Amino acid sequence: MWQQLVEDLAGEDFTVIAVALDSEPGAAEPWIEAASPTYPVLIDRTHVLADLFGIINVPTAVWIDEDERIVRPAEVAGAYESFRHVDADLGRVPDADIDHAKQMRLTYLEAIKDWAARGPESEHALSTAEIRERQASFDPDITEAHARFRLGQHLEAADDPSGARTQFDEASRLHPESWAIWRQTSDKLENGIAAGPAFAARVAALGERRYYPPPEMAGISEAPTTS
């Protein structure tokens, strides 16, 4: 969807910079090659952006203007957790959830287009006060969690898997909301994606809490409407 957005806004002073939060570059490369993007794509092995902007999951977007000012802090980029609503009888996600996921994505993309065209006059460009209110907190536990994540990576590279595991586990304990940290330090499937029983159990433990909290944006609702 990002490639289409870049093409749609070719006449504007706008670009997408995609960043994969992947400790192993090889895990992201097949996806990047398949997408064939014309915009920059980076791989953040040590989660520097997650630390700086308070990113806890993907896909997340941060809007930054030409003056390097944050216009919207880290927020879910129009994604919806339809995977949590698989109908056991149908064996698939209900149509209402599929439609809602599409609508959320389109609404988010249209908001970006509005901002690209209208700049600070866009209703989606936040004030300084709104940005401060929505900006993720950076308490000592979260700061330490990111430091331990990077220490774990160092120990892993130094062939100390036990020491690395200790640091990774502590990082997740200190910052349990971070799916980005957990995903990069959990057991992975052959395709490099953290999923399977451990992922399902962690999602189930959320209860009523959202895996993808919807952004506070006009036109985006919490859940699909049902008749």
The span from the CA of 146 to the CA of 207, in Å, is 26
Residue 104 reports pLDDT greater than 60: yes
Decide which of 128 and 193 is more confident: 128
> Distance of CA 38 to CAs 5, 6, 35, 224, Å?
11, 8, 9, 33
In the chain, count of helices (H) and strands (E)? 9, 4
Segments making up each domain of the chain, as ranges: 2-134, 140-204
**Backbone φ, ψ for residue 77 (5° rounding):** -85, 60
In the CATH scheme, what is the code of domain 2-134?
Answer: 3.40.30
Banded pLDDT at 168 (limits 50, 70, 90): very high
Q: Are 16 and 5 in contact, with CB atoms under 8 Å apart?
A: yes
Banded pLDDT at 190 (limits 50, 70, 90): very low
Number of other residues whose CB lies within 10 A of the CB of residue 182: 21
The span from the CA of 184 to the CA of 35, in Å, is 22
Instruction: Give the model's pLDDT for residue 109.
Output: 96
DSSP state of 19: E
The span from the CA of 54 to the CA of 63, in Å, is 13
Instruction: Give the model's pLDDT for residue 118.
Output: 95
Banded pLDDT at 27 (limits 50, 70, 90): confident
Cis peptide before 59 (omega within 30 of 0): yes
Longest dimension (CA), the chain: 57
Instruction: Give the model's pLDDT for residue 25.
Output: 67
91: number of CA atoms within 13 Å, CB side?
A: 0
Residue 193 reports pLDDT greater than 60: no
Q: Give the pLDDT confidence of 38-78 residue by residue, as tens digits.
A: 999 999 999 999 999 999 999 999 999 999 999 999 999 99
Residue 192 reports pLDDT greater than 50: no
Residue 16 reports pLDDT greater than 80: yes
The span from the CA of 50 to the CA of 171, in Å, is 13
Instruction: Give the model's pLDDT for residue 142.
Output: 95
Q: Give the pLDDT confidence of 200-214 residue by residue, as tens digits.
A: 889 999 999 999 998
Which H, E and C letters describe 29-87, residue by residue?
A: HHHHHHHCCCCCEEECCCCHHHHHHCCCCCCEEEEECCCCCEEEEEEECCCCCHHHHCE
The span from the CA of 216 to the CA of 123, in Å, is 12
Decide which of 49 and 225 is more confident: 49
- Alpha-carbon radius of gyration of the chain: 19
Q: Give the pLDDT confidence of 67-88 residue by residue, as tens digits.
A: 999 999 999 999 999 988 888 7
What mean pLDDT is predicted for residues 114-132?
95
Average pLDDT, the chain: 89
The span from the CA of 87 to the CA of 79, in Å, is 19
Banded pLDDT at 175 (limits 50, 70, 90): very high
